[in-house]
Amino acid sequence: MPELPEVETTRRGLEPHVTGRRVHRVEIRDSRLRWPIPDTLAVTVTGSLITGIRRRAKYLIIDLQRPGGGYAGLIVHLGMSGSLRICPASTPVKKHDHVDIVLEDRAHPQGEAMIMRYNDPRRFGSWHLLGPTNTAEEEASHWLLKALGPEPLSDAFDGAYLYRRSKGVRTAVKSFLMNQDIVVGVGNIYANEALFQAGILPTRKAGLISAVRYDRLAEAIKFRLQQSIEQGGTTLRDFVGGDGKPGYFQQSLQVYGRGGLACPGCAAILHDIRLNQRTTVYCKHCQR
């Protein structure tokens, strides 16, 4: 599943190509995603000016200015296997290309030079309309966004916050980190990597970890996420960013996917277990 760095990489790849361009046409080939694409989406979005693309957790928010004024935003989730990328309008349609946002050419308003194409083999992603007013309150109260925790790369997220939220929590710290109500976007790969860097055993109860160690963990989360974003995300199967390029963070992974191999810290064998149905890799010597 695309995690926060992959979604942020997609946003950065798309933004310079679509901001300031008007939507010429929306083509929906298959609306049967995790939730059906609204019937009104195409007519609402057509003719709108794309004013920017933002990210909240693993959601992309496409800001649109409607003709004659008014706001129409799109919330897009890539699901398990989705991708959103820029390509020429002449690009042949593939089996799982479900949505096209056809963009007007800047020099030729009636042209269809480029498209923003959504591909999703498993159809577990989703598209939602946000509007009609562009207010922070409306966005924050949307049912997909209202319960989300802070962004891990923001000032609102630090060790003191994690320590405060962990009080009395008896679940494993890895599961605690992957709870989107606690902090958004720390998926399985980056939880494994950050816990290893911080020297914390993923199965340790969240409520038994000290404030000092949470400071170290918050720093590790920020570092690993930022490092992955700079390297274009992690390509484990077929992830590519909005510009069609793969991510290379996989080459920097220290523990994830390396169960049974030597620990990069002490050369002991890394253990590979299942924790809440997710692959969990750790070193018994380096993590406690």
Give the pLDDT score at 231: 82
In CATH, the number for domain 4-140 is 3.20.190.10
Give the pLDDT score at 283: 98
Find the mean pLDDT for residues 126-147.
81
Would you state the structure tokens that stand for residue 80, as one six-digit string? 């398990």
Give the pLDDT score at 250: 57
Choosing from 3, 8, 139, 193, the catalytic residue is 3
278 annotated active-site: yes
Give the pLDDT score at 135: 61
List Cβ neighbours of 219 (8 Å cut-off, separation of 6 or more): 159, 198
Give the pLDDT score at 263: 98
5 annotated active-site: no
Find the mean pLDDT for residues 182-194.
94
Percent of the chain with pLDDT strictly greater than 70:
89
104 annotated active-site: no
Asked whether the CA dihedral 280, 283, 287, 288 is positive or negative, the reply is positive
117 annotated active-site: no
Choosing from 11, 22, 56, 58, the catalytic residue is 58
pLDDT higher than 50, residue 247: no
pLDDT per residue as tens digits for the range 58-106: 999 999 999 888 888 999 999 988 999 999 989 999 999 999 999 987 6
pLDDT band at 238 (very low <50, low <70, confident <90, very high): very low
Say which range, 22-26, 82-86, 110-114, has the weakest mean pLDDT.
Answer: 110-114
pLDDT band at 136 (very low <50, low <70, confident <90, very high): low
Find the mean pLDDT for residues 265-269.
97
- Distances, alpha carbon 56 to alpha carbons 27, 53, 141, 148, 251, in Å: 25, 10, 13, 9, 26
Q: Annotated binding site for DNA, which residues?
A: 96, 122
Choosing from 66, 204, 205, 278, the catalytic residue is 278
Domain residue extents for the chain: 4-140, 159-282
Give the pLDDT score at 237: 44
pLDDT band at 246 (very low <50, low <70, confident <90, very high): very low
Q: Please tell me the pTM assigned to this model.
A: 0.86
Find the mean pLDDT for residues 12-22.
93
The class (CATH top level) of 159-282 is mainly alpha
Q: Annotated binding site, which residues?
A: 96, 122
